[in-house]
Amino acid sequence: MLTRKEQPDRLHINMHQLSDLKHWTRALGISEKELRRVVEKVGNSAVAVRKELGIEWSNHDGR
């Protein structure tokens, strides 16, 4: 039986998942340390993190 691979959640940043860390540091152009600092400050919402960094939201998430 074929199963669909679950799509990653691109509205939230999972700081405990290596693939999420890699994706978001690349997509946002920041270091893991900076990502952790911002997530601690504003939470794990991708929209809030982008807003804090001054990056406008778009449907294109850097992939």
Q: Residue 2 carries which side chain, given as an amino acid letter?
A: L
Residue 63 has pLDDT above 50, yes or no: no
Q: Within a domain: residue 42?
A: yes
For 42, the domain range is 20-53
Residue 6 in domain: no
11 assigned to some structural domain: no
pLDDT digits (tens, 9 = 90+) for 5-48: 566 678 999 999 999 999 999 999 999 999 999 999 999 999 99
> Is 25 domain-assigned?
yes
Alpha carbon 22 to its chain centroid, in Å, reads: 9
> What pLDDT, on the 0 to 100 scale, is given for residue 17?
94
Under the banding of pLDDT at 50, 70 and 90, the label for residue 56 is confident
CB 17 within 8 A of CB 47: no
Specify the number of domains making up the chain.
Answer: 1
Q: What pLDDT, on the 0 to 100 scale, is given for residue 23?
A: 94
Read off the pTM. 0.76
β-bridge partners, 45: 12
Does the pLDDT of residue 3 top 80, yes or no?
no
